[in-house]
A = this chain, B = another copy of it.
Amino acid sequence: MDHDVYDLGAVRLQDGITLPSARIAYKTYGTLNAAKDNAILFPTWYSGQHPDVGWIIGPQWALDPARYFIVVANIFGNGISASPSNQPPPFDRMRFPRLTILDNVRLQRRLLTERFGIDVLRAVIGRSMGAQLAFQWGAMFPDKVERILALAGSARTSPHNFVFLQNVRMAITSDPAWQDGEYLAQPALGLARMRLIFDSWGLSQAWYRRGLYRDQGYRTAEDFLNRKVVAPPRDANDFLAQVQTWERADISDNDTHKQDFPAALRAIKACAIVMPSRTDLYFPPEDSEIEVSHMPNAELRVLESVWGHRAAAPGTDAADIAFLDASIRDLLAR
């Protein structure tokens, strides 16, 4: 096994349901120092798993394991931490409860304190849904995280982002083979339709206008859509569990901030870099701008990319990736 698992035991979720055995899976890089003050948390994103994060961690990157102790935590529902696909009845498949962004954050905090004795994080770095976790960390535990970098994500799922996610839901559940989650084999058609949704929304008009699918070896956008994809083995109900977390994300939706979104943003004391991608169609920079305007210690740093939501993902534009890495470096130097 390339990762570790921590069993949190029975956990009561924000929605009031108790999950009997919540296992959180994680991978660490580097060594926790004696002061326990060099820890960085990097949660996964929608559809991501810890191996997807590792590429930007190493001696050549700002996230250098020689300096930092980096904990890559799998979000719940992602197929490695507790998820519909790995949970025993009665919480398997579509019976898996919704975990909120805050549930994820609280349980990650338990992992860090109980397993490692880490009280204060040097930083939380997240992309997309992972960025939502970073914001939530800052708002809920303002004294426990010194810095956050939120890449291509928001502190609250906007109404339009919610609408986009209904496309994702529709794609998966439109497959008759999905059978309300009781499939025997993965609903391949539904998962292929989900890929169409992400190819449509996850890149940008500019990306397609410039014909960047040609750099991927496809003559036309149509060929690009029809490309053969060796999809990593992921589970349809797991995707839906993650959608459930994402679509209601709101750092103020809890007893502490009582739906006062600006107040939750004001609570984020951490030094923050909020980095939307200029062409992101479902986390557009306008939302980030509003969020940063309420945050006392945040910089809006737009990633001027044509790669839409996928900006600075591995295999995309090298300058975008360098910009992200330099920004992580800047943040950690503050």
Stretch at the interface among A45-53, A72-80, A198-206, A231-239: A198-206
Is there contact, CB below 8 Å, between B158 and A205? yes
Q: Are A209 and B286 CB-contacts (below 8 A) given A162-B222, A163-B221, A164-B200? A: yes
Interface residues on A, range: 35 or more
Give the docked Cα–Cα distance between A158 and B206 (Å). Answer: 10
The B-contacting residues of A in range 134-179, CB under 8 angstroms, are 158-160, 162-164, 166-167, 170-171, 174-176
Q: Which residues of B contact A175 (CB under 8 A)?
A: 174
The B-contacting residues of A in range 27-57, CB under 8 angstroms, are none
Residue A266 at the chain B interface, CB threshold 8 Å: no
Is there contact, CB below 8 Å, between B193 and A170? yes
The B-contacting residues of A in range 213-254, CB under 8 angstroms, are 213, 220-222, 225
Is there contact, CB below 8 Å, between B159 and A221? yes
Closest to A164 in B: B200
Is there contact, CB below 8 Å, between A163 and B208? yes
Residue A94 at the chain B interface, CB threshold 8 Å: no
Closest to A158 in B: B209
Is there contact, CB below 8 Å, between A284 and B205? yes
Is there contact, CB below 8 Å, between A193 and B174? yes
Is there contact, CB below 8 Å, between B163 and A199? yes
Residue A13 at the chain B interface, CB threshold 8 Å: no
Residue A263 at the chain B interface, CB threshold 8 Å: no
Is there contact, CB below 8 Å, between A206 and B286? yes
Give the docked Cα–Cα distance between A168 and B49 (Å). Answer: 31
Q: Which residues of B contact A176 (CB under 8 A)?
A: 176
Residue A302 at the chain B interface, CB threshold 8 Å: no
Q: Which residues of B contact A204 (CB under 8 A)?
A: 160
Residue A5 at the chain B interface, CB threshold 8 Å: no
Residue A196 at the chain B interface, CB threshold 8 Å: yes
Q: Which residues of B contact A287 (CB under 8 A)?
A: 205, 209
Give the docked Cα–Cα distance between A13 and B155 (Å). Answer: 53
Closest to A189 in B: B174
Give the docked Cα–Cα distance between A204 and B286 (Å). Answer: 12
Q: Which residues of B contact A166 (CB under 8 A)?
A: 196, 200, 225
Query: Could you write out 18 A-B pairs with CB less than 8 Å apart?
Result: A158-B205, A158-B209, A159-B221, A160-B200, A160-B205, A160-B207, A160-B208, A160-B221, A163-B200, A163-B208, A167-B167, A167-B196, A176-B176, A205-B281, A205-B282, A205-B284, A205-B286, A209-B286
Closest 10 CB pairs of A and B: A160-B208, A159-B221, A159-B208, A174-B174, A160-B205, A163-B200, A205-B284, A162-B221, A163-B221, A167-B200
Q: Which residues of A contact B (CB under 8 A)?
A: 158-160, 162-164, 166-167, 170-171, 174-176, 193, 196-197, 199-200, 203-209, 211, 213, 220-222, 225, 281-282, 284, 286-287
